[in-house]
Chains A and B, each alone.
Chain A
């Protein structure tokens, strides 16, 4: 099948279109969404196995020859990212049934979600830098709908900020792509990479590389460009927050990974050094934020910032260990963030507040929730054999191999702060004297907890199954490490 790698983009897209026709029929909306997402998960799982068996898949749209048409490329990294995004979205769809509320469901909530997923999958799959901009716009448009849907006062205020930041960064993105095109004369990422290594990475190209890092850094929340993220993400309801936290920043991170490994790998003394410094600062800033708040949402949101720093630190090492660790940690972080946000959604549904000071003693009444939270928290901090461990181990190993001792030590120390920040939630919410809570019906509790437990179980399996996943991740990192493999796969046809 020539077009297999497009299915994970097309299926959510088609689902979103079908959903436009009957916005008021909630049961039909839910059924179609679940059916579409199941198909998308199956398609992306098939895609991963095909990519593993046959190597990188590439198709150039409209039967144009490779550097001229828009090329879509599925290498192990993007295939795994697409599969993870689809799995997470499926879980969040189930989670939404009991939490998002009928009025939002009647106003094309699922449709916006599917459009966003199509954009996310497209951005992961595309091999053309301008097309990546288009998919960024698709996912941003849909995310504007999701962040404002419901129209609460806080949502309206934050969505203005969110839209403004993203419009500025999109404008900068287009400008940068235009500059890149004027220098290299091509938009195909593989072709850009080949041309850049031919003509050498001159000063102007390094400037473009830094501009791209800034553009994607604004979307992916690196220091100091994450300023908009904590308050904007806290505004929409929890399922949307989980979707944003798990997927959106990771698209930015993925784009930075591609930029520095595929397009501009020739001047690591400048670009990678800069990226590393920014990554370490991101981790430090995230740690301060995660400890500073007594608000469940803010604590986990600042943990997104920390994770972005850790992943980019791994990417900046330019050795196999660092890159493989970054890939491992990226997938881990998507899964665990979805799980954590879904769990704090359950806590908020029970207590009716997101303020840690106003809760306590949930352990006695909701033991299942408590233990799931503890496992997820340990997974986030990276206690072996849970999922965060191996990625961070490789990243730190990469740092030591590349003689970045201090960076590695800061990453290690940040794990402790991450652990402290989430255990603080455990102590305040689950231990201590039970406080009077709003409570929730058993049906809602189960409907929220089950998807959250499933995602947490996935992260546990991801951690325990590291040995089996290793070849896949090694493969993904090898292609990041040797861009020639990517270039050959795209331009050979």
Chain B
């Protein structure tokens, strides 16, 4: 199905980046406030779905040539790897580590290993959602 609605296509080119940046914002906000990997991932996936609606599957997969199953795998390994790091230190599984760093530009920032876990969740959600949408939509 080829969509050639100029208004939707032009708007999407801008709106896609707004949604995507907002998704990243929500993702980082998730540590102390509502948000996190799951919501961030869903928002990102919805931005991608908007692209699919405005253009078509072939154009989008040429622009973003990802194998979404592999993205699920990477996300899972990232999440499991973060949680499993605790095994090396012989503390209970899922114990996370954090510390405060003085970063240029950001100033005093607290960095958490739990963020990596959340990044894994983010990738799994994007991968799974896109897999579902593509396998439903790619029959035509």
A interface with B by C-beta (< 8 Å): 1-3, 6, 10, 13-14, 17-18, 20-21, 23, 59-63, 69, 72
Measured between beta carbons, the chain A residues less than 8 angstroms from B94 are 61-62
Among the stretches B46-54, B84-92, B98-106, the one at the interface with A is B84-92
Q: Which residue of A lies closest to B127 (CB)?
A: A20
The reply to whether A62 and B92 contact each other, CB–CB distance below 8 Å, is: yes
Give Cα distance in the complex from A63 to B84, angstroms. 13
The reply to whether B92 and A59 contact each other, CB–CB distance below 8 Å, is: yes
Q: Chain B: interface residue count, which band? A: 10 to 19
Question: Which one of A13, A17, A20, A60 contacts B92 once the chains associate, using CB atoms below 8 Å?
Answer: A60
Give Cα distance in the complex from A6 to B87, angstroms. 10
Query: In the complex, which of the residues B84, B86, B92 has the most CB atoms of chain A within 10 Å of its own CB atom?
Result: B92
Q: Which residue of B lies closest to A21 (CB)?
A: B73
Measured between beta carbons, the chain A residues less than 8 angstroms from B96 are 62
The reply to whether A20 and B95 contact each other, CB–CB distance below 8 Å, is: no
Give Cα distance in the complex from A59 to B94, angstroms. 11
Give Cα distance in the complex from A423 to B91, angstroms. 53
In the complex, B43 has a CB within 8 A of chain A: no
* A10-B80, A62-B96 known; A2+B90 contact, CB < 8 A: yes
Known: A2-B91, A2-B92, A61-B95. 8 other contacts (CB 8 A): A2-B93, A3-B87, A59-B92, A60-B92, A61-B93, A62-B94, A62-B96, A72-B93
CB distance from A135 to the nearest CB of B (A): 14
The reply to whether A20 and B72 contact each other, CB–CB distance below 8 Å, is: yes
Give Cα distance in the complex from A14 to B84, angstroms. 11
Give Cα distance in the complex from A151 to B76, angstroms. 27
* A3-B86, A10-B84, A62-B96 known; A17+B73 contact, CB < 8 A: yes
* A13-B80, A20-B73 known; A1+B93 contact, CB < 8 A: no
Q: Which residue of A lies closest to B75 (CB)?
A: A17
Question: Which one of A13, A14, A62 contacts B95 once the chains associate, using CB atoms below 8 Å?
Answer: A62
Measured between beta carbons, the chain A residues less than 8 angstroms from B76 are 17, 20
Question: Which one of B80, B87, B93 contacts A17 once the chains associate, using CB atoms below 8 Å?
Answer: B80
The reply to whether A63 and B69 contact each other, CB–CB distance below 8 Å, is: no
CB distance from B20 to the nearest CB of A (A): 25
Q: Which residue of B lies closest to A62 (CB)?
A: B94
The reply to whether B73 and A14 contact each other, CB–CB distance below 8 Å, is: no
The reply to whether B86 and A20 contact each other, CB–CB distance below 8 Å, is: no
- Which 6 residue pairs across A and B have the least CB separation, nearest first? A20-B73, A62-B94, A61-B94, A63-B95, A17-B76, A59-B92
